[in-house]
Homo-oligomer: A and B are copies of this chain.
Amino acid sequence: MPGAFVGEGVTIEADVVLGPNAVVLGAGNGTAAWVQAGAQIGANATIHPGVTVGIRAQVAPGAVVTRSVPPLAIVEGNPARITGYVETSAGLGPLAGSGPSPSSRGVQATSVRGVTLHNFLKVPDLRGSLTVGEFEREIPFAPKRYFLVFDVPTAETRGEHAHIHCEQFLVAARGSVSVVADDGAAREEFLLDQPQLGLYLPPMTWGIQYRYSQDAVLLVFASDYYDSADYIRDYGDFLDMVRQQSIP
């Protein structure tokens, strides 16, 4: 586009769109930036040196990108922050107008293969509230591990990977967290903002957690002990594996 500038040594992959007057800084200012396939860089946007803009990510017009942008993420502002993920539908949680009210109980399917949203019993009480989940009855597996994620800066994305075999179950024990679940074809975003809501992620689901509230504590149950070989950390690799699995 007119006025766009791409610095020395910058890698621009296929199907990238650059808006007018956009600047992608190169080796002359440090390490060259890297813009991956299908990414869109808006007009007047500035990509700092050393930054990677992930597969199909979108940088808004005028945004100043100072840190790497994950695949599919939409970023805005100066400095740029993630404000959403492309082509992601709003989930069945409180985000969706037609979703279950907090007092209804049960399990609902979603648009993402195998992902289910669970609404547990909540028992309010003058002496405090209580919510309960039962393993193997309500939650489809017996946990080998739990972990707690906390003190996450609001602007951070924490989690961006898939598991080959491990199942996971997510609960926002306090505060709120947005979770994007992606099976390689469909993508849906869920707002976990009440302790009685849980989200089941089967194996081979790409999961992103972001928009942590200041006081958020995310409780995760995992069906297996930790195994680094079970993690898929690159979205391109994940897409390749999904395609191979679906070929008979």
Contact = CB atoms under 8 A, between A and B. Distances in A.
Interface of A: 1-3, 5, 7, 19-21, 23, 25, 29, 42-46, 48, 60-64, 66, 76-79, 124, 126-137, 142-153, 156-158, 171, 173-174, 195, 212, 215, 217, 219, 221, 225-226
A129 B147 contact: no
5 contacts: A62-B64, A76-B79, A131-B147, A142-B142, A148-B173
Contacts of A76: 66, 79
A63 to B, nearest CB: 8
Contacts of A142: 142-143
Contacts of A145: 132-135
Nearest to A78: B78
A201 to B, nearest CB: 17
Given A174-B174, A195-B217, A148 B134 contact: no
B152 A127 contact: yes
B150 A129 contact: yes
A3 B48 CA distance: 17
Given A23-B44, A44-B64, A127-B158, A136 B146 contact: no
B128 A153 contact: yes
A147 to B, nearest CB: 4
Given A135-B143, A152-B127, A23 B23 contact: no
A46 B64 contact: no
A5 B21 contact: yes
Given A3-B21, A44-B21, A46-B61, A147 B173 contact: no
